[in-house]
């Protein structure tokens, strides 16, 4: 997992060309004006999903096998639970079509805050439960960029 602000994204460009494409799209798009939905960046190699929703009290842990997530907060604030996949047990089996598996954790997890202008990069070994409220439920707008491994 990586957590940083979008103005420092260039530091991570050398990790992969696809991550670079995702970060550049975030930085060069007027995200506040874009509607919820899927946006093509580089076919199935890199694409984005803009989401507007209310945060919630809890969620299931999830992880992906084919894609890395860049989760960037356009507006609002939420907590994201993070756990190493080795400390999880499968709750709902892997769906290869949706590239998602859901988990329970068996060891202590940690939470990171994500506020406007910040991103997290979540790798396949990073089980995560996004969309969690800090204190009260609130509306957020976030983009999740899927980056093929």
Q: What is the CATH number of the domain that holds 114?
A: 2.60.120.370
pTM of structure: 0.95
pLDDT along the chain (149 residues), means of 10: 97 97 98 98 98 96 97 97 92 96 85 97 96 94 97
Look at the chain and report how many structural domains it folds into: 1
Question: Any idea what the Cα angle at residue 100 is, between residues 10 and 116, rounded to 5°?
Answer: 40
- Which tens digit of pLDDT belongs to each residue from 8-18? 999 999 999 99
pLDDT for position 106? 75
List the strands of the sheet with 77-84, edge to edge: 88-95, 100-105, 61-63, 126-132, 77-84, 110-115
Q: Where do runs of H (alpha helix) occur along 2-149?
A: 17-28
Q: Is 54 helix (H, G, I), strand (E, B) or coil?
A: strand
Domain that holds residue 72: 2-148
């Amino acid at each position: 997992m990586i957590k940083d602000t979008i103005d420092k994204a260039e530091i991570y460009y050398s990790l992969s060309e696809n991550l670079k494409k995702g970060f550049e799209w975030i930085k060069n798009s007027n995200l506040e004006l874009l509607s919820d939905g899927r946006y093509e960046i580089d076919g199935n190699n890199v694409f984005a999903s803009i989401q507007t929703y209310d945060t919630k009290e809890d969620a299931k842990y999830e992880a992906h096998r084919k894609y890395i997530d860049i989760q960037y907060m356009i507006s609002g604030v939420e907590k994201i639970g993070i756990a190493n996949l080795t400390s999880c047990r499968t709750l709902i089996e892997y769906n290869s079509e949706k590239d998602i598996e859901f988990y329970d954790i068996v060891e202590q997890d940690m939470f990171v805050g994500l506020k406007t202008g910040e991103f997290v990069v979540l790798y396949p070994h990073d089980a995560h439960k996004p969309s969690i409220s800090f204190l009260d439920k609130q509306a957020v707008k976030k983009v999740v960029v899927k980056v093929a491994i």
